[in-house]
Amino acid sequence: MLFQALMAVRDLSRLHDIAAILVRYGFGDIVARMGLTQALERAGRVLHYDNATRYAHLPAPTRVRCALEEMGPTFVKLGQLLATRVDLFDPEWIAEFGKLQDCAPPVPYADIRSQLTEDLGAPPEELFASFNPDPLAAASIAQVYLAGLEDGSKVVVKVRRPGIRPVIEADLRWLMRLSELAEGESPDLKIFRPKEVVRQFAQSLRRELDFAVECRNAERIAQNFSGFSDLATDATHPLPPIIIPRVYWQWTGERLCVQEYIAGIPGRKLNEVDKAGLDRKMLAKRGAHAVLKMIVEDGFFHADPHPGNVFYLSGNRIAFIDFGMVGRLTEERREQLIRLLLGLVQHEPRRVLDVMLDWAGDSVPDEAELTLEIQIFLDQYHGVPLKQLRLGAMLSDLVAILRQHKLMLPADMALLVKTFISLEGMGRELDPDFDIASEAMPMLEASLRARYTPAALIKRGGHAIGEAFTLLAGLPHDLSRLLRTARRGKLEVHIEIAHLKHVGNQLDGAVNRLAVGIIIAALIVGSSIVMTVQGGPRLFGIPFFSLTGIICATLGSIWLLLAIWQSSRADRD
């Protein structure tokens, strides 16, 4: 089935390119194990292994990062997603994945103009007062242009690259097949649930391809910040402290979005922050308050707050852009996060352990050992002043403990941990004395207290009572359906035991091989009888039907021997 999927004509050219890149960076064994070498050779596309050792001197994380960069936008995005999975990869891998930059050579404007005209409904030069055909930025999925409106304001026009979706869909099909192979053949990889990771990645990437979704994310976050004020508000500048670009919906769709242009200092140019006379400490504090609000209060946050997506404006204001990647937290997850962070800061191992066990589910191999390691981990911070705590480093070390026990974080929490680490890193770039623990503590404690106010308890109690009444109201109907099904004799009870299923599969395979053996024996006996019959067509002096039966029996015997050999080899492994 894998071979048939990979040999689909629509994916063959892309498959050859990917396989060649893997071979070039020393991953020819992966290509061979997947059967791509034979598949491509049968299709007339020969792989050359002469450059397979060209990059052998580079460390494995570097080779993987370079291969992902060369394979194109889907794999760059995959690497950026893997950079958030601090629970799966060691720090050296996370560091390499973090180097993946979403940039690409720009597509000529002549190739984009026809699509842009189709989406706008008219040529951009006619719709806008001004339009610069030279792109402001070129990423793997989109290019950004600067335009002006009649009222003198400026906007950015983000255009999806023409023809990018078919390439990404082909890559996603290939990745899903690869994840199925990895999960089916490698018990070590199965615990990381590669199919689930690829499924979540595919969903995220398809959402990112739809710019209307990105704009809806931006508007939701802008609404959450309406009326927002923080402890660092500057009375001399009454403008909102957090800026989210306005969306121009009349020109926005799946392949195009038009947003307000932010004329600020990019987050990477800290020297310009000093020249503009901005207060670095206030910027660090305000950014921390904004991100913590999105996470703790709203449960909907910008999941990629790196310096390229942040601008600093006069009055020590901060603007966030690019909402293609956002994180979502349920109320239960937010409560778990608050308990975890408070447990880390206040050195309460039991609270930390409870959250870790909630996340791990039933997959904890040794709960006593995990408890001891968390206790030892927190003991090293006992007595350390709050200002000296490095919350990002603590989270990284805690996730390393989970990784040692082969436990995975839930996908939403893995993204959140990476966001926290990025936030603390940005804060310390602005202010070396930045202390995220001190900034987070008041908000965490306030959020925890808010959950136990009389109003909150009454609200949750009301929801629980309503759900209970709904369950009781539907109980007679459910019992009636159950009894009706039982009377008809259609009531089924499904019990699945993993070991019995494995035994059943083995018995099924054995019966199939026995059936094939009986057919082969029948062919041999029948062919021998036919050989004694005079007359009829002959080939090489042998009765044609007898020869045909012997050939079929021989081929069947070869297949049966190979199947038995492969089965015994799999049992030994």
Catalytically active residues, by annotation: 304
Helix (H) or strand (E) holding 213: helix 211-224
Residue 258: helix, strand or coil by DSSP?
strand
Say which DSSP state 387 is in.
G
Q: How far apart are CA 363 and CA 375, in angstroms?
A: 20
Helix (H) or strand (E) holding 133: none
Say which DSSP state 245 is in.
P
Q: Which residues pair with 126 in a beta bridge?
A: none
Angle at 525 between CA 523 and CA 530, to 5 degrees: 90
Q: Considering only the C-alpha atoms of the chain, give the largest distance between any 2 of them, rounded to a whole number of Å.
A: 112
Residue 66 corresponds to which tokens in the numbers above? 């370079």
Q: How far apart are CA 230 and CA 547, in angstroms?
A: 89
Q: How far apart are CA 157 and CA 483, in angstroms?
A: 62
Residue 216 corresponds to which tokens in the numbers above? 């809806």
**HSE-CB of 399 using CA atoms within 13 angstroms:** 26
Q: Which long-range contacts (CB under 8 A, 24 or more apart) does 257-260 make?
A: 257/157, 257/158, 257/211, 257/212, 257/214, 257/215, 258/147, 258/155, 258/156, 258/157, 258/158, 259/155, 259/156, 259/158, 259/215, 259/218, 259/321, 260/153, 260/154, 260/155, 260/156
Cα torsion 529, 533, 537, 542 to 10°: value is: 60
For 106, 273, 277, the CA distances from 317, given in Å and listed in that order, are 31, 12, 12
Say which DSSP state 293 is in.
I
- In terms of DSSP H, where are the helices of 307-366? 331-345, 349-360
Q: How far apart are CA 407 and CA 11, in angstroms?
A: 35
Count helices and strands (H / E) in the chain: 24, 13
Residue 75 corresponds to which tokens in the numbers above? 């794999």
Helix 331-345 × helix 391-404 angle, to 10°: 110
What b/e string do you get for 37-74 counting C-beta neighbours within 10 Å, with b at 16 or more? bebbeeeebebeeeebeeeeeeeebbbbbbbbbbbbbb
